Amino acid sequence: MNAQRKVLRHLIVVALSSATVLSVGTPAYAADECLIFAINDKGENISQVVASDPYQNYKLSPIGPEYAGADIEAIDFTYSKTVDGLKLYGASGDNTAAPYDPGHLYFIDHNVGNITDLGQICVDLDPGPGETLACGLEVSALSFKFTENSLWGWAEDCGLFSMADIPFNLENNQGIVKGQIKFRSLFGTCNPNAPKKIGDSGPGGIEDLTWSNNGEVLYATLTCSPSGDTGLVCSPAKTDIYGYDPTSSSFWLVASLAGQYEAMEMIPATRDEVVPEGEDHPPLENGSILLGQHGDLTMTFQELVIVPDENGSLVNQTGTFVSRDETVNTRPFSDLEGIAWSCPDCIEMPGKWQYVADAFNDSTQASTRKKPKPAEGEHQWVDPEANEDGIVIGNTDFEIFGMAVKQDRDTVYVALNANMPIEGIFDKRADDGHIGWGDVIFNFGGNKYAIHFAANQAGVPSVGLYNDVNTIDVTSQNYGWPHLQRYGRYLAGHDVVANLGNLPINTTYFSQTTHDVPMVIESGTEVEDAGFEMLDADALEEMGLDFETNVPGSAGKYTFGFKFQRTEDMIGEFTAHVFIECINDGVAFEGELKPRQCADTMGEETP
């Protein structure tokens, strides 16, 4: 498979437990979206095409109907700009039922889930000019070799074969799709009716295949289990990863792993993604293998790091497993088989939420006296937690607990966790009787954008993304502190270590002694086609937001956020901040937005 298509094919690794399942038969996605596709094996042989969107927290949805009896065990995309574009093919095992037959090749319309039978796969066992065909075999694995535009597969009890007639002709194949044997299995006779042989090692029960990014080595998973459900018996269950060199027709053991891993795919080198913090591994020059473990409703993943030798060769190179802590709840899909990634040209990893915690006790809120007016010298306040000054410190209506930002391609997500509702609160001491959220200000080294997302004293009429912005400080209109320094010093005088998230409370980024904190938009130009949309807590949770885990101690009453499409110049390091209109709390986030790496180019012809 094309090296640039491989990053996410097996990355169904984060929070599928939040999946929302669409109604069966509903086309869930447009043809040009980059998605993960898989075949779910329900019961004995019921096949269901499913899709996972890595940019929606790997939300899993069925595509098209279930195919009872089809027993599709393997899928993969083939891709050629000059021949046939993006095509998804599948192959069936030997546990089929009418109207389906063993060892057939299928074209799968990945937009609507329809399958088209292209014919029986027949493997030519004679590399010479004659033909000795073995047909009706169980095909358990498929992998596209982009360097020669060929589709490779594994036929149980027979071996490794390749099919080079891509695209497969729907009219002239006469019911047969021919493959050429490349490596005979050490077990089996290429007879679909022969009993499966038992062994404890050797390429027999191959469950999946994947080509290295350079097309040099084909990797295969050989699984065995106490039940012998793959033809090989061992206790406890284990998986051996083999490498195969097509130039010498030799194979070698790359690595072994406890457990029964049936899904495998090579991904490009993504060091930040695969190397755990604090561990050191050699450069991942040719990518890594992601493995999906067979299970009931949960899959776990391991990373297999394979390092080329000094000449850059992967032949005879062994691998090292790197543990990943992600687990996947695939409900209601209990047995995902072959998996394929649909973005053929270029991969951009879906962004991860980045979090910053604000101090949990650095908000302030002025109380009011009780009525009737107390006797002179007494301090009776509406809020019993108010101090002698009538100030409540910490966990007030204005408390901000954290901020999070995520980028997926050109979409930027922002989330807040706080005690302050998005509507703000009523306070008669404010000029307009209302204290609200300020606007979120993004500053890219002086290039400023602002997001107006809630009712406040901004000078713009509608929510959205704005550029060419001028900002204004509105604390004096909202019964706020005289300036930021006074706010910080008051907290320090009451033994509170305040901060503004990624910035210290006494930062020089903001004016400390004047009413000049960039707080709300005074004027600006709304960015057209920014796709601004408010997001509630449920929507953000579906996107993988988790303040509770990533900002321990966050306990804000409200979680909300928004998304927008960044402009071309919203690139590089930035500081984003938001204040309550009275500067009784605020938070700043330091991060970076990256330029779009990949264009949507599926189906384009090579010049």
347-374 residue pLDDT tens: 566 678 999 999 999 999 999 877 666 6
Cβ count within 10 A of residue 32: 13
Determine if the peptide bond prior to 226 is cis (ω within 30°).
no
Which pLDDT tens digit goes with each residue over 191-202?
Answer: 655 554 433 333
What distance in Å separates the CA atoms of residue 287 and residue 306, rounded to the nearest whole number?
7
List the one residue out of 28, 72, 82 whose CA is nearest residue 53. Answer: 28
What distance in Å separates the CA atoms of residue 90 and residue 40, rounded to the nearest whole number?
12
C-alpha to C-alpha distances, 587 to 169, 399, 447, nearest whole angstrom: 60, 10, 20
What is the average per-residue pLDDT within 20-48? Answer: 61
Q: What percent of the chain has pLDDT over 90?
A: 48
Residues 206/184, Cβ–Cβ less than 8 Å: no
* Choice among 191-200, 233-242, 417-426, 527-536 with the minimum mean pLDDT: 191-200
DSSP 4: G
Judged against a pLDDT cut of 70, whether residue 527 lies above it is answered with yes
Which pLDDT tens digit goes with each residue over 151-160?
Answer: 999 998 788 9
Q: Strand 400-408 to strand 411-418: parallel, antiparallel, or no bridges (unpaired)?
A: antiparallel
Domains of the chain: 3-341 (2.120.10), 354-593 (no CATH)
What distance in Å separates the CA atoms of residue 183 and residue 8, rounded to the nearest whole number?
29
Q: Strand 85-92 to strand 72-80: parallel, antiparallel, or no bridges (unpaired)?
A: antiparallel
CA angle 394, 397, 401 (to 5 degrees): 60
Cβ count within 10 A of residue 221: 28
17: tokens are 């437990």
What distance in Å separates the CA atoms of residue 224 and residue 200, rounded to the nearest whole number?
8
Count of all residues that appear for the chain in the document: 607
Structure pTM?
0.67
List the one residue out of 183, 294, 188, 179 whose CA is nearest residue 248. Answer: 183
Q: Strand 391-393 to strand 104-108: parallel, antiparallel, or no bridges (unpaired)?
A: unpaired
Q: What is the pLDDT of residue 4?
A: 27
Place of tokens 């690595």: 255
Judged against a pLDDT cut of 60, whether residue 52 lies above it is answered with yes
List the one residue out of 289, 296, 268 whose CA is nearest residue 339. Answer: 289
What distance in Å separates the CA atoms of residue 107 and residue 89, rounded to the nearest whole number?
5
What distance in Å separates the CA atoms of residue 289 and residue 267, rounded to the nearest whole number?
6
What distance in Å separates the CA atoms of residue 527 and residue 450, rounded to the nearest whole number?
10
Residues 550/401, Cβ–Cβ less than 8 Å: no
Q: pLDDT band at residue 297, thresholds of 50, 70 and 90?
A: low
β partners of residue 479: none
Judged against a pLDDT cut of 50, whether residue 21 lies above it is answered with no
List the one residue out of 361, 357, 353 whose CA is nearest residue 503. Answer: 357
Cβ count within 10 A of residue 233: 16
